[in-house]
Structure 1
């Protein structure tokens, strides 16, 4: 070891004269002057080695810390007495007391946190790591090596050569270093360093995330909180619905810009023309070796940033449930916002426009606690318009949105306030207490419904897991077979389609309402009809409409002559049917029609206007003098000009339809789904539209008349006499029916017996089959089979055919049969008002019952339903399909649809045979 290195080692490791510690046992032990051990050399070497990379603290301070971690550490005057001789007299006693208090605090920790040698090293590194009075890292390594290899040589010096490093002033500085380290010491930080090697956990980065990301993160937090879990759940359900439509613009040319550079990589269509001058092999090599030159296009221009500005209504009409509903809708709008677009939220209070922060929980709670006494936010619309103008001044296209209730949108005062602000385009979203969400687009030309959705608001109040819906939930059906209480109805059933009780949904199916008051939907010709509702009000279908996606359809059902008309709102996705009565007057109505969510009921020279979703009367409109009703929503004047009744979002209006000179007189007008403005049929049977003019139809009829038009306006039926011999021979005055497709103008001849509902084309989807339902008695034979007797004496048996492995209904001979249960009459029973078809019941001696259903069903109701589940059989002659109350189904796909089915043998043994054996 060099002399200067030896000097460094001795200055650090040799105790001063009269120091509180000394080396003993040939340098293997560091001890107090009274002989008690402070640390063994190997312990000190381990700790020093751990600290050496960052430099070593003064040895006096380190030894005091190690002394406090030994079992022989003593509180009180004895320790202070051993150290106090090295402390000056100028008020340094307090310094020593504070150091000892800090060491006692370490001793008060659990022993496993300071007693093991590894923990001592962690403890020393934490206390001394920020000390400025340390050796250099190089000297630290030198001292650690010396402690391991040269300690005896280092300490073997005469007493008069001992280095006096512990003068009072120096020792006080060492105590100050230890005191500062003890002040910084944190027990939790020690535990963190021990487990992770970190002094503190990483903090959340303060990043300015897009609004949509912050809202989505907030929804995740709120879903863990019982009080706001429902609001967050509802917001997530609405995210697909609560979006604003984007304008789609197609550029005439791709916005690729010019050429900015050349490069050695790129697409082959960007090769320089000079590269194509090479022969094939050379060009291939240049491309493979990245030597070929390509054009590099300029970066396309970015889509300009947009600003979405939302005004939340917090007025009186929002109190209660709508306030929570609207908060969920606002969160959904924010969560679906484009990350490149800004999003601002405001609400009105006291006639002032205030910022609403929905990106934090506190901000959301503050918004929910904000209530205003105004009936609508019309007082702040001018300030809201000013905010929009400010964004537009910054070259940001603006998407304004107001979120309120249906009642506010219909408020005349609010409509006037909107009109005064003269918004070019503004979106109006509304919520209702019964779960309806609607989005409208309002321009200076009027208001248009863009989308609507129904949401289950019961989720707002659920605190636990989702509750499963009960299988039996109809009180009126408690005394009827179990299948009456199942939603949706598990079987697909046929029923003949009748005139004026059918309408079609393009490319999806056909609805029909038989006289038994069921609402049926046919979606495939190889399937029966799905039962949407069991108790539709009686009467014919007066008018229908559907949205552009075919998901929601409206229908008016009932006799106009009696003023008993109901509006059906059918949701195909949810398989639900909501029925509301139209609040008609007592007088007789002649016609009904609809437009933009409103229903027009025409009565002489007045028109009653109703809301389609509620059935409430909106207004009564007087027909101007000189106009008379033609059909639907169309009127004619004395000059044979056509006028259309409509709704612009605020009020009823009537407009002249075609103001240009017409090539032929018009005889019939109708609306076509997805087409702006009405279409017309001329006197010659041709089609006329405002944008395309006259479109001739090659129908081949003389004096054609309009027989009917499809509910969606896609087809119309003409009737007349045939003037074209090539299209078939008819009698001199025989009527010929021609079906015309509006889009293609294709013409098809229709037989007269199909003319009544040809325009709806039910045959595309509806293919009814016959079921048996006319029986008078039922019995059980000795083979464990159900026997049914018809009015004409025929006997049909429900049994199992092992040849085809199916349950079957077959006609059998009338020879003598051993009946173990005598034939019981099927007597009609009283049915609730919700049931529009006939039910008959046969009761056997043990209490078991058979219900005969006029829909072509047989219901098995055993007296021991714990062993024999209820079941329903479809009385199709031949193969029998059916359903069990335990969820099993079997049979033909026509009757059960695309569901997993149970082997018929299992059902027959456990249900049909068991039912019969229980009776026997």
Structure 2
């Protein structure tokens, strides 16, 4: 061991004439004084390298120096002097040394270009092990470990700090070749970085993605995806859940008379546990009905499994309708109750003949549903089937038929011989009842019965509400962006029924008009204030709770839904709640009673508390107003005060054939022109009918007609546009909205009530014209001539200038 360590000591000593030296026992430096590394640093690196290999110290120090970074010019000069001295001593090896030196210098340059994270810390050791992997100096494990430990302990201090023998080409060239080999292996910074980051010389190619098998949908999934067969698929899933066929026993020899193999909750009554028979009659019946009773299951005797199941189903006239639907559902459910994966063959039985039927695809199922034989029973075709078909020994024959037809054929003996060849019979009737029998030696024993909810599956669902067109902000006039309409509205499409109107303390009338808008009318001489832009269609019921709080219930029995609007008349705010309710049966009536809103049917009542937002149901035994108090007379005449407020139904201009600016420079709407007449406070804007049609100088083009732009489907808009981009938009509530293509011209709107003076509003808040449509609280009122000159005339002039 001592000799071995003595052999390794020279490897740690700096030769005379090399590029490095021990400055003291703890520091290794270039001969010009630049630090390369510290002894404890070198020991730590050597300990982490493979312990059986001692890298050439010159190569290690060159890489460590490059890992420190910084300028490499001086170090390169020193290294060049060392190589020049070696070549001068042995000129014959100049070419070999120059080639190795060139590649080694390139490698050291690559190392300096690495990011600090890849050439410092633990990554530095990994870098050294990769670059010096071709070093061939190998020692015994114990020799290497001992030498490193002694270097660490300082035992070699006196030896290593002395200058060693002179450096020769044979001593230094292997150091250069190790680095040159590393450069040839990697060659560039990118390859070296890839190796350091991944540990791989080459990244693996992307694996070929195998073609996954196409997952075909099952028959029931295909049927569920089609509206025509969706109810049938749902019914089939119900039948699968309740259907069960035990292993058929044709005779006593096949009955499992061995030991007991299991305890189950389905079976024949003679196999009930004795403990079940000890129950009282009521409890035993309940356990039998709920499939809770326990049965013995005897050991199955050795027998060959079934290989085929033959299903015969009735296609005669008496099976048409509900029975046919159930028959097809049973036929489709049978493959899901396969005992041994046996194949299933289907045959349709007519009056005189039979034929194979395919039920493997949705198309075949739809086609099979159309099969109809005009005959009344299938006895002849059943006899023909058993006479013609050769069935394998391990076959199970199942007849699926209409119940009354099967009962008659059994009673009159038409299928007396064939019943010995049947294994199971499944009967269905028009009420949806499904009964399964097992046939043993011609005797039918009922196994179980079920009644799927066929009528609910096939009943039409509730009507869907027609979706409203969402707001289209980019085309809405500024007038409609306001929380409350800036002007009162012309009274159009006034209601004619009592349920749409309520009078509040003789002061005002709240109504839902024909355009499904909630309006408030104070007097005949004022327009209507819009409280809510859209009230859904349905049956209406108002209730005034006092203190300015009004409720409006809108319910729709066909949609089984209702809306409740809470209206604060003092603040003109409306809150809306929507809720759904169950089918209450029969004709619905609605009423507010004891602080609740009720919707009552013939079976139960639904209620909603508008104060707490609670909902619930109650039966008909709970106190309720007499029906005579709930009856709304739609033809009831209005009170005198109500008549006065609702007498006028203004005629508004909406359907206009042509729009433009005439030769006089006035806006013309069809046969009418918009003119300001009078002066000062007596001036007004009117629709003036023309006796002689003026020539349309700048005509506008229709953009759209009767288009819904808001959430209310009854409020429709027409739009015209001039060549310059200016537009006029009219709506059937009695307004027209003017927007110029010049953004500096203020947008304005006017009322379109015929025979009445025009009221105008500008988007900067100014109002002018007929006070009938101006809010009582309005303060920004200006003279008509001033409004015309500020807003209407610039609008017209811009169109003329741009034409």
Relative to its length, the structure with more helix (as a share) is 2
Normalising by structure 1, what TM-score? 0.33
- Please identify the structure whose Cα radius of gyration is greater: 2
- RCO comparison, higher one (Cα < 8 Å, 6+): 2
